[in-house]
Amino acid sequence: MDLGIRGKRALVCASSKGLGLGCAESLAAAGVDLVMNARGSEALEFEAARIRSDYGVDVQTVACDVTSLDGQEQVINAAQGVDILVTNAGGPPPGMWSDWEREDFIKALDANMLTPIAFMKALLPGMMDKGWGRVVNITSQSVRAPIAVLGLSNAARTGLTGYVAGTARQVAPQGVTINNLLPGIHATDRADALDSGVSLQKNISMEDARAERAATIPARRYGTRQEFGAACAFLCSQHAGFIVGQNILLDGGGTNLTM
Ligand code: NAP
């Protein structure tokens, strides 16, 4: 299917690995020029070079922490005039409700709520002026069904979800859509970190920890970054202009819900 977005330009935050990289690759495959970002420059430059050579698109890189005000300024300057915004950042650490202090909540809110809001505030006006734009926020299945050990993530991401629900309806008249993609378990470094927590806690091997978690998913496997990226590219396509303010689970059926 031709996604109809060849020649458009996208900012994909936190995109040197994992789900962000999946989104960057799928957009590049559709002919979209990119601004890619991550804190570490080695993987970022490596993936940017690979994408340029594989897809022939223009790729600009900005190595910085998107959750810092300085990092946001650098990325927003590089991304002026983009047609597509994919927000993403690392997820907060797991723990118990009784572990977290105010500072931990502020960090999580900054990374997983206020950072995507800052990017939308800065880049939506340019999209609205052009009468076309797409925003996809990478959130989590925890927005639909809480994951108890990820209380910081549950709290910050539901805040973002509430913000998007209203804002998506305010910008839709100008041809701009905002939607959230909710990953279930995907095979990335983040999943490895969570699996290693399970492996330590239960004193089992990483392989067994993975098999245990995969067995909880009706699809009986982890998702891939390529599948995730393809869904993101579709939401950014010309065909998705009537999808507004939605929260789309990509979880192999893992979240037990009727609707
Ligand atoms: P990942 O494999 O660990 O990749 C994270 C990417 O983001 C890397 O490129 C990393 O590069 C970059 N990054 C992290 N923090 C950043 C920051 N502050 N500023 C700029 N770049 C940053 O993670 P993932 O699995 O793709 O997860 C992406 C998001 O989805 C996370 O918020 C995660 O919590 C959420 N999620 C993931 C899953 C899953 O199963 N994978 C499930 C539910 C939700 P640098 O380290 O070099 O910065």
Domain co-membership, 34 together with 110: yes
pLDDT of residue 5: 98
| Spacing, Cα 140 to ligand 1 middle (Å) | 11
Domain co-membership, 138 together with 148: yes
pLDDT of residue 139: 98
Domain co-membership, 211 together with 237: no
pLDDT of residue 256: 96
Nearest CA to ligand 1 atom 47: 40
Q: Which CATH number belongs to the domain containing residue 118 in this structure? A: 3.40.50.720
Bridge partners (DSSP) listed for residue 138: 181
Mutate to test the pocket of ligand 1, among 11, 15, 17, 139 (most ligand atoms within 8 A of CB): 17
Secondary structure letter of residue 242 according to DSSP? T
Q: Which ligand 1 atom sits closest to the C-alpha of 40?
A: 47
Domain co-membership, 90 together with 216: no
| Spacing, Cα 131 to ligand 1 middle (Å) | 31
- Total structural domains in the chain? 2
Of 234, 184, 239, the C-alpha closest to 214 is: 184
Q: Residue 140 falls within a domain, yes or no? A: yes
pLDDT of residue 52: 98
pLDDT of residue 125: 98
Neighbours of 198 (CB within 10 A): 17
| Spacing, Cα 90 to ligand 1 middle (Å) | 4
pLDDT of residue 197: 87
Q: Is the CB of 137 within 6 Å of ligand 1?
A: no
pLDDT of residue 105: 97
Domain co-membership, 62 together with 158: yes
Domain co-membership, 168 together with 193: no
Alpha-carbon span 224 to 186, nearest angstrom: 6
Contact by Cβ (8 Å): 187, 194: no
Quick: pLDDT tens for 15-70.
Answer: 999 999 999 999 999 999 999 999 999 999 999 999 999 999 999 999 999 999 99
Q: Residue 1 falls within a domain, yes or no? A: no
Distance from first CA to last CA of the chain, Å, rounded? 28
Alpha-carbon span 186 to 209, nearest angstrom: 14
Q: Is the CB of 180 within 6 Å of ligand 1?
A: no
pLDDT of residue 194: 83
Bridge partners (DSSP) listed for residue 84: 10, 134
Structural domain harbouring 148: 9-184+224-250
Contact by Cβ (8 Å): 255, 184: yes
Angle of helix 189-202 relative to helix 206-214, nearest 10 degrees, comes to 110
pLDDT of residue 49: 98
Domain co-membership, 116 together with 194: no
| Element housing 232 (H / E) | helix 225-235
Q: Residue 4 falls within a domain, yes or no? A: no
Contact by Cβ (8 Å): 34, 58: yes
Domain co-membership, 32 together with 143: yes
Q: Is the CB of 107 within 6 Å of ligand 1?
A: no
| Spacing, Cα 61 to ligand 1 middle (Å) | 17
Q: What share of the chain is helix, strand, coil (3-state, %, to 5)?
A: 55, 15, 30
Domain co-membership, 207 together with 239: no
| Spacing, Cα 14 to ligand 1 middle (Å) | 6
pLDDT of residue 109: 98
Domain co-membership, 173 together with 211: no
Q: How many CA atoms lie within 13 A of 104 on its CB side?
A: 16
Domain co-membership, 120 together with 240: yes
Give pLDDT < 70 ranges for the chain. none
Domain co-membership, 77 together with 168: yes
* AA identity, residue 161: T
| Spacing, Cα 174 to ligand 1 middle (Å) | 31
